[in-house]
Amino acid sequence: MPTVLQAYETEILVGGAHPTKLIPGNIAMRKDFVWKKESVVNTFLKDVRGGIPFAVEQIDVMLRVLRSSGKPVKRFLDLGCGSGVLAGAVLSAYPKAKGTLIDFSEPMLNEAMRGLKAFPRRLRFVQADLNSKEWLKEIGREAPFDAAVSGLAIHHLTDRRKKSLYGEIFSVLKPGGVFVNIEHVSSPSERLRVLSDETFIDSIWEFQREKGGRMTRAQMEKKFYSMHDKGSNILSSVEAQCGWLRRIGFADADCHFKIFEIAVFSGRRPD
């Protein structure tokens, strides 16, 4: 049973792929709230983020898509920013860019503030929950944006909420603005899910060995399957998600890179 980190009175989420039910008065238990725990944040940042397979290539693809708009990024959003890996890449690529970084996890935002100190006066950190459109109220003054990026965050929302969020992102982009999502997506079969997990475990195992760790492959596998954030994943196929982007009105919605369950896909708000 996951720990209840915070209770909402109006909404109950009971796991599974489409679990949103409104039960007034009930206490909600949201699996994504594990991200508010310091221990989950520390494990992700210390043992996982740097070992994600082809993470460098994914960020390179993201930057290529941003560059393809032909205009410099002046204002951007990072949704579910975590420690700010994606925002850092955008800030480095565009020395005049200003970022609005959103996350609901205090320990993650603290890490982002610490890690992005090299970019003073170019950042605004917003603690907000992407599970409702309330986040839009927090960024009103800064919109519209030239770009929105997100990394491995939106898959914590239900499919219904993902679609709404994609629409909200569309609404705050300038004409010509792009949205790039580096995301954990679903596998079409159990065989490919296992292949994805095996690749992921190999990659984080290699990462810890490079850092001088002594864990065996078997120990890493055990650790991988016991990570506390796993229950918060609500994976959807990249095909479905590109389809949602097209229906919302995004142009050029496509998947540009995919290594099993990690995909980079984007869409552009038409001029």
Ligand X SMILES: C[S@@+](CC[C@H](N)C(=O)[O-])C[C@H]1O[C@@H](n2cnc3c(N)ncnc32)[C@H](O)[C@@H]1O
Question: Does residue 99 interact with ligand X by CB under 6 A?
Answer: no
Among 152, 169, 180, 185, binds ligand X (CB under 6 A): 152
Among 12, 28, 35, 220, binds ligand X (CB under 6 A): 35
DSSP 151-170: ES-GGGS-HHHHHHHHHHHH
Select from 206, 183, 189 the least CA-distant residue to 265: 183
Indicate whether 131 belongs to the interface with ligand X (CB under 6 A). yes
Stretch that binds ligand X, among 56-64, 91-99, 147-155, 216-224 (CB under 6 A): 147-155
| Residue 225 burial (C-beta neighbours within 10 Å; 0-12, 13-18, 19+) | exposed
User: Is the distance from CB of 154 to CB of 165 less than 8 angstroms?
Assistant: yes
Taking the least distance from each CB to ligand X, the nearer of 131 and 208 is 131
**CB of 270: closest distance to ligand X in angstroms?**
26
How many residues form the binding site for ligand X (CB under 6 A)?
21
Among 80, 88, 99, 267, binds ligand X (CB under 6 A): 80
Stretch that binds ligand X, among 2-10, 64-72, 104-112, 202-210 (CB under 6 A): 104-112
Q: How many CB atoms lie within 10 A of CB 6?
A: 12
Helix 217-225 vs helix 190-210: crossing angle, to nearest 10: 120
Point out which span in 12-20, 74-82, 164-172, 240-248 binds ligand X (CB under 6 A). 74-82
- Chosen residue from 29, 59, 62, 108 binding ligand X by CB under 6 A: 108
149: β partners: 78, 180
If one asks whether residue 207 binds ligand X (CB under 6 A), the answer comes out as no
Query: With the C-alpha atoms ordered 128, 130, 132, 133, is the resulting torsion angle positive or negative?
Result: positive
Secondary structure of residue 13 in the 3-state scheme: strand
The answer to whether residue 123 forms part of the interface with ligand X (CB under 6 A) is: no
Nearest to ligand X of 35, 179 (CB atom): 35
